[in-house]
């Protein structure tokens, strides 16, 4: 296997108040792979996603992260996005007053500009978006509403996947994209994600439950506990966790 | 200089900031005697009051010192044709183009405070619409006399003494005008001067009109604009103001609107450019069920100061007022809002809501908000609120995580914040106002 798309090496990170959350994460993700990171509440799953996306409020104390061979941690969030990193938020932010479609097009054009490409015109963009909408079983009306404002939980999550479909990232980190969804919404989201699997794209699923993994067979499953990956394996690991819970983790380390 | 010197007023012992204006005062040739009387009375009133002091609540956030020290006089003579008006003309014509809502719309241009027929649209006016120079109208029509009485307030009085022109818009009863009437107040003169324009808007019963006024110019000048509006029963007026004045310009405008029964007045002011901006709207709700919507937004940077002032007087029952004022200040800019809604005895069932929302974009910017309710009736629904905050970090990060650079993300959020005040605008006006706002945002220096 060639150079990994993402290489996390002994990553330690803490909150602004000094509490250490990540205590030495090691993770390698190659193109075309789907990884699942599971773990109990407070294990550091969302912190890992936030640090990878470049959210403020976290301090990296030690370790390095390479993305496509570059030092990810030195890049601004918008630069990471333009280089193909996408984070689907656990709690997508509501932005009243910003039209959903206007925002999507602005985001896509900002990324294209950074690569010296021309901006996409409104007509062409609308056609592209409509194709993706069908895939996600999403109502077109959502496009014309303010970004996530007043969206239901399911609508927000689908909107995240729609953004992913439009922005076509190389590495997508999906933070609990399955939480708070009813079974139909979960199926729609899973179907959307499944359709976005590609040989040159990697997906990291951060999840609490095995539900999503039944739909999206991951290549690798990692168990995160107290800021460390304590167990890695294939799909069967997820099933085992589902049966036994996280109680065995104490012995695992 | 032409005209008659006004000896009677100059003899008054005046405050120091007033004297230069008394000395510069002349009565324009050819005006009716009643108008001269109003001018002299207004000048006397200004001489008595002088500039508002810092103790004057409604003027305390504006620094009048520079104006008191360096008086700016009105042009004594009518301005020359634009071709001879100086080096700015090319740029100004381009800005005039930008100020247009629709290329073919009705356009009335006041250049350096006077009607410029050459720059205005020459087409025929729709039936029931009268639009022209107030100066020309006042010379021939005694009927305007009660409409042009000496107003109260020092700068309104100065305006009434010195105004040379303005626009006069009259809409006949029952006339419905969908196309907006565009008024452009353009400053083209190279010299520092003051401009006192006085305008009049009269809407007949059950008529409806939309007015869009742009204030544009370059350099240093003082604009002192006054508009009186009277809406007959069930008349509806939507008025939009866009302030894009010269970088060192001082802009004061004051509007008084009197609303008849079931009349509806909506005002939306966007304060974008100019050193010192003060926008005042006073609504007198005289008729039962009269409604007013007062929206305003200011986007400020550098050392700009802006003051949005309003007073709504409910004298009749079942009136309604909705007021939304948003100020975004960066750099060392200072914004202020003072709004008062008064419900007089007997004005039952009034429904009034006032909201002031403000964004502080830098540590040295400042915003003061002072919403006020005075209620003398017992069966009313009134509320007010004010909030000051910064942009939401979570929203900024969300935008950046999708690839928008920090600056663009902030711009998007500031625009979204301000755009709420445009709710009353329909296309093509909404598009025009949005584009002026975006243009200003693109040049916003968010220096600390």
Distance CA B63, CA A104 (A): 44
What is the count of structural domains for chain B? 1
Question: Rounded mean pLDDT of chain B?
Answer: 91
Q: How far is A246 from chain B (nearest CA, A)?
A: 31
Q: Which residues of B touch A168 (CB under 8 A)?
A: none
Backbone φ and ψ for B262, nearest 5 degrees, come out as 55, 20
- Whether residue B30 lies inside any domain: the answer is no
pLDDT tens track for B247-300: 999 999 999 999 999 999 999 999 999 999 999 999 999 999 999 999 999 999
Residue with tokens 């009437």: B181
Instruction: Give the structural domain span for B306.
Output: 85-442
Q: Which residues of B touch A54 (CB under 8 A)?
A: 400-401
| Shortest CA gap B352–chain A (Å) | 24
Chain-chain contact of A78 with B397 (C-beta, under 8 angstroms): no
Judged by CB atoms closer than 8 Å, whether chains meet at A78 and B406 is answered as yes
Domain assignment present for residue B420? The answer is yes
Q: Specify the pLDDT at position B79.
A: 66
> ω into residue B428 within 30 of 0, thus cis?
yes
Q: Higher model confidence: residue B405 or residue B84?
A: B405
Distance CA B376, CA B55 (A): 26
| Best of B401, B411, B417, B422 to mutate (most A CBs within 10 Å, chain A) | B401
% of chain A at pLDDT higher than 70: 97
Chain B hits for A53, CB-CB cut-off 8 Å, are 401
| The pLDDT of residue B63 | 87
pLDDT of the residue at B3: 46
User: Which residues, 6 or more positions from A129, have their beta carbon under 8 angstroms from its beta carbon?
Assistant: A101, A104, A143, A162, A166
Which among B401, B412, B417 has CB closest to A53? B401
Nearest to B95 by CA among B197, B218, B181, B190: B218
Residues of chain A positioned with their CB less than 8 A from the CB of B408? 106, 110
The residue among B179, B222, B224, B172 whose CA lies nearest residue B198 is B224
| Amino acid B329: pLDDT | 97
Residue A183 pLDDT > 90: no
Q: A16 contacts in B (CB within 8 Å)? A: none
Q: Are B402 and A54 a contacting pair at CB < 8 A?
A: no
Structure confidence at residue B12 (pLDDT):
53
The three-state (H, E, C) secondary structure of chain A, written as one string? CCCCCEEEEEEEEEECCCCEEEEEEEEEECCCCEEEEECCCCCCHHHHHHHHHCCCCEEEEEEEEEECCEEHHHCCHHHHHHCCEEEECCCCCCEEEEEHHHHHHHHHHHHHHHCCCCCCCHHHHHHHHHHHHHHHCCCHHHHHCEECCCCCHHHHHHHHHHHHHHHCCCEEEEECCCCCCCHHHHHHHHHHHHHCCCCCCEEEEEECCCHHHHHCCCCEEEEEECCEEEEEECHHHHHHHHHHCCCCHHHHC
Q: What is the largest CA-CA distance in chain A?
A: 58
Task: Determine whether the interchain pair A89/B398 forms a contact, defined as Cβ–Cβ distance below 8 Å.
Answer: yes
Render pLDDT for B408-417 as a digit per residue (tens, 0 to 9).
999 999 999 9
Mean pLDDT of chain A: 92
* A248 has pLDDT over 50: yes
Cα A172 to Cα A72, A175, A224, B423, distances in angstroms? 14, 9, 19, 38
pLDDT at residue B84 in the model: 53
Q: Which of residues 66-85 of A touch B (CB under 8 A)?
A: 76-78, 80-82
Yes or no, beta carbons of B393 and A56 under 8 Å apart? yes
What pLDDT shows up at residue A103?
A: 96
Which structure tokens are listed for B438? Answer: 């975006």
Instruction: Using an 8 Å CB-CB cutoff, list residues of chain B that contact chain A.
Output: 392-395, 397-406, 408-409, 412-413, 415-417, 419-420
A window 39-68, beta carbon within 8 A of B:
53-56
Give the closest of A82, A89, A98 to B403, CB-based: A82
pLDDT value for A165: 95
Q: Is A96 on the interface with B (CB under 8 A)?
A: yes
Does A113 lie at the interface with B, CB-CB under 8 angstroms?
no
What ranges do the domains of chain A cover? 6-252
Q: Do B403 and A89 touch (CB under 8 A)?
A: no
Q: How distant is the Cα of B401 from the closest Cα of chain A, in angstroms?
A: 5
Looking at chain A, the whole-number percentage of residues with pLDDT higher than 90 is 75
The pLDDT-based confidence of B87 (bands split at 50, 70, 90) is low
Q: Which of residues 191-230 of A touch B (CB under 8 A)?
A: none
Class of domain A6-252 (CATH, top level): alpha beta
Asked if the model's pLDDT at residue B29 lies above 80, the reply is yes
Q: Is residue B39 domain-resident?
A: no
Residues of A in contact with B411 (CB under 8 A): none
Q: B26 in a domain, yes or no? A: no
Position B96 in a domain: yes
Instruction: Name chain B contacts of A58, Cβ cutoff 8 Å.
Output: none
Give every strand in the sheet of A85-88, ordered side by side.
A85-88, A171-175, A202-207, A34-38, A220-225, A228-233
Give contacts of B415 with chain A, Cβ < 8 Å: 97
Q: How many CB pairs under 8 A join A and B?
A: 70
A111 touches B at CB < 8 Å: yes
The mean pLDDT value for B302-319 works out to 97
Would you state the pLDDT for residue B1? 37
Question: Is the pLDDT assigned to residue B86 strictly greater than 60?
Answer: no
- Mean pLDDT over A186-199 rounds to 92
Which pLDDT score is estimated for B80? 65
Contacts of B407 in chain A (CB under 8 A): none
pTM: 0.91
> From the CA of A247, how many Å to the nearest CA of chain B?
34
A85, A95, A147, A167: best to mutate for the B interface, most B CBs within 10 A: A95
Contacts of A108 in chain B (CB under 8 A): 403
Q: Which of B398, B421, B435, B442 to mutate to test the interface with A (most CBs of A within 10 A)?
A: B398
Question: Which chain B residues are closer than 8 Å to A82 by Cβ?
Answer: 403
What pLDDT does A135 receive? 79
B44 assigned to some structural domain? no
Mean of the pLDDT values across residues A49-67? 96
- Structural domain contains residue B224: yes
CB contact under 8 A, B420 and A97: yes
Q: Between chains, do B397 and A103 touch, taking CB under 8 Å as contact?
A: no
| A contacts of B392 (beta carbons < 8 Å) | 93
- Please report the ipTM that was assigned to this predicted complex: 0.96
Is the model's pLDDT at B162 over the cut of 60? yes
Q: Give tens-digit pLDDT for A157-171.
A: 999 999 999 999 999
Please judge whether B413 and A95 are an interchain contact, meaning their C-beta atoms are less than 8 angstroms apart: yes
Please indicate, yes or no, if residue B370 is contained in any of the structural domains.
yes
Of B400, B412, B420, the CB nearest to A78: B400
B284 bridge partner residues = B258, B313
**CA nearest to B76, candidates B35, B103, B114:** B114
Checking if the pLDDT of A252 tops 50, the result is no
- Residue in chain B nearest A104 by alpha carbon: B402
Q: How high is the pLDDT of residue A250?
A: 55
């Amino acid at each position: 296997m060639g150079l990994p798309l993402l290489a996390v090496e002994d990553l330690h990170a803490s909150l602004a108040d000094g509490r250490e959350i990540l205590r030495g994460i090691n993770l390698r993700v190659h193109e075309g792979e789907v990884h699942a990171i599971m773990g109990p509440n407070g294990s550091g799953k969302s912190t890992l996603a936030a640090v990878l996306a470049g959210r403020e409020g976290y301090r990296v104390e030690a370790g390095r992260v390479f993305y496509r061979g570059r030092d990810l941690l030195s890049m601004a969030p918008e630069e990471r996005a333009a280089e193909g990193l996408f984070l689907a938020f656990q709690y997508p932010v509501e932005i009243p007053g910003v039209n959903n479609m206007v925002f999507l097009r602005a985001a896509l054009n900002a990324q294209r500009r950074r690569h010296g490409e021309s901006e996409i015109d409104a007509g062409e963009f609308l056609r592209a978006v409509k194709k993706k909408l069908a895939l996600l079983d999403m109502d077109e009306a959502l496009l014309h509403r303010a970004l996530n404002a007043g969206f239901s939980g399911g609508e927000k999550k689908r909107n995240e996947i729609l953004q992913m479909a439009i922005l076509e990232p190389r590495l997508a980190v999906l933070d609990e994209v399955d939480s708070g969804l009813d079974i139909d919404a979960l199926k729609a989201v899973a179907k959307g994600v499944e359709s976005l699997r590609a040989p040159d794209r990697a997906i990291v699923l951060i999840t609490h439950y095995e539900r999503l993994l039944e739909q999206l067979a991951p290549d690798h499953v990692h168990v995160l506990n107290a800021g460390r990956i304590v167990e890695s394996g294939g799909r069967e690991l997820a099933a085992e966790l589902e049966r036994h819970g996280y109680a065995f983790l104490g012995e695992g380390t | 200089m032409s005209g008659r010197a006004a000896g009677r007023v100059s003899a008054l012992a005046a405050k120091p900031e007033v004297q230069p204006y008394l000395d510069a005062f002349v009565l324009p040739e050819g005006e009716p005697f009643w108008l001269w009387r109003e001018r002299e009375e207004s000048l006397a009133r200004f001489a008595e009051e002088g500039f508002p002091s810092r103790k004057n609540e409604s003027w305390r956030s504006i620094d009048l010192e520079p104006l008191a020290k360096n008086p700016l006089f009105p042009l004594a003579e009518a301005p020359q044709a634009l071709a001879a008006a100086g080096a700015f003309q090319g740029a100004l014509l381009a800005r005039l183009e930008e100020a247009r809502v629709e290329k073919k719309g009705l356009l009335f241009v006041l250049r350096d405070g006077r009607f410029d027929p050459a720059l205005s649209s020459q087409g025929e006016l729709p039936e029931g619409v009268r639009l022209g120079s107030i100066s020309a109208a006042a010379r021939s029509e005694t009927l305007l006399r009660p409409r042009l009485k000496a107003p109260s307030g020092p700068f309104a009085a100065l305006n009434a003494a010195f105004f040379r022109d303005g626009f006069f818009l009259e809409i006949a009863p029952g006339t419905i005008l969908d196309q907006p009437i565009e008024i452009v107040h353009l400053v083209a003169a190279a010299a520092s001067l003051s401009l006192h324009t006085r305008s009049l808007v009269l809407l007949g019963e059950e008529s409806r009109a939309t007015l869009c006024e742009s204030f544009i110019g370059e350099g240093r000048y003082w604009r002192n604009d006054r508009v009186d509006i009277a809406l007959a029963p069930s008349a509806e007026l939507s008025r939009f103001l866009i302030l894009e004045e010269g970088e060192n310009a001082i802009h004061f405008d004051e509007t008084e609107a009197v609303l008849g029964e079931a009349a509806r007045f909506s005002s939306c002011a966007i304060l974008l450019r100019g050193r010192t901006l003060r926008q005042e709207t006073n609504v007198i709700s005289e008729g039962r069920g009269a409604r007013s919507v007062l929206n305003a937004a200011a986007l400020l940077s550098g050392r700009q100061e802006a003051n949005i002032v309003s007073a709504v007087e409910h004298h009749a029952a079942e009136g309604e007022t909705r007021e939304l004022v948003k100020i975004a200040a960066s750099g060392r800019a200072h914004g202020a809002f003072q709004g008062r809604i008064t419900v007089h005895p007997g004005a039952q069932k009034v429904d009034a809501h006032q909201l002031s929302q403000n964004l502080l974009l830098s540590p040295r910017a400042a915003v003061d908000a002072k919403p006020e309710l005075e209620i003398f009736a017992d069966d009313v629904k009134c509320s007010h609120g004010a909030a000051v905050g910064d942009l939401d970090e979570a929203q900024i990060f969300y935008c950046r995580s999708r690839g928008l650079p920090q600056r663009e993300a902030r711009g998007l959020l500031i625009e979204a914040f301000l755009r709420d005040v445009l709710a009353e605008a329909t296309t093509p006006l909404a598009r025009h106002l949005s584009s002026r706002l975006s243009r200003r945002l693109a040049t916003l220096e968010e220096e600390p």
